[in-house]
Structure 1
Amino acid sequence: MFPEFRDLISKLKTDDAHFARLFERHNELDQQIKNMEARIEAASPVEIENLKKEKLKLKDELYLILKAATV
């Protein structure tokens, strides 16, 4: 996610607790969705869709923080 911000992401993960929490939650959701789609975890299509929406919202929020940090 956001390879162009790799160094900044590393810095923010250590310097910004809010960013670190959002980033970790995004990764948790990503893994959970993969497990559900692979049928490792049981889930309905609606549950998967809701998690994907939550993940996308977090990604948007992370991007805004990254953009603000580059100014």
Structure 2
Amino acid sequence: MITKHQLSIDFPEYEEKIHALKVESAHFRKLFDSYDVLDHEIYNIESDADPKSDDVLNKLRKDRVRLKDEIYTFLKNN
């Protein structure tokens, strides 16, 4: 099953903090928005709404993991 990788689901222990930081921190909001756009793009490719090569999909997945790691570090440290 193809699903989106929402941060509030992936990091349920930080759900309230995610919502607060989206309002309070421009940097976090930028990270969050970038992640959301990237996740949506990956979802569209995986669901064949926007077919792309496996190389493109794999690069986007790696980018999403790097961005998620950055978001997690931000959540832990703020």
Q: TM-score, normalising length from structure 1? A: 0.92
The AA in structure 1 aligned to 2:57 is I
Q: Which position in structure 2 is the counterpart of 1:3?
A: 12
The AA in structure 2 aligned to 1:49 is N
* Separation of aligned partners in 2, 1:59 and 1:28: 13
In the TM superposition, what are the counterparts of 1:1-71 in structure 2 within 5 Å?
A: 1=7, 2-69=11-78
Structure 2, unaligned stretches of length 5 or more? 1-6
Q: TM-score, normalising length from structure 2? A: 0.84
Identity of aligned residues (%): 38
Structure 1, unaligned stretches of length 5 or more? none
The AA in structure 2 aligned to 1:58 is L
The AA in structure 2 aligned to 1:39 is D
Please state how far the C-alpha of 1:42 moved relative to its aligned partner: 2.2
Q: Write out the 4+ residue segments of structure 1 that deviate beyond 4 Å after TM superposition.
A: none
Please state how far the C-alpha of 1:28 moved relative to its aligned partner: 1.0
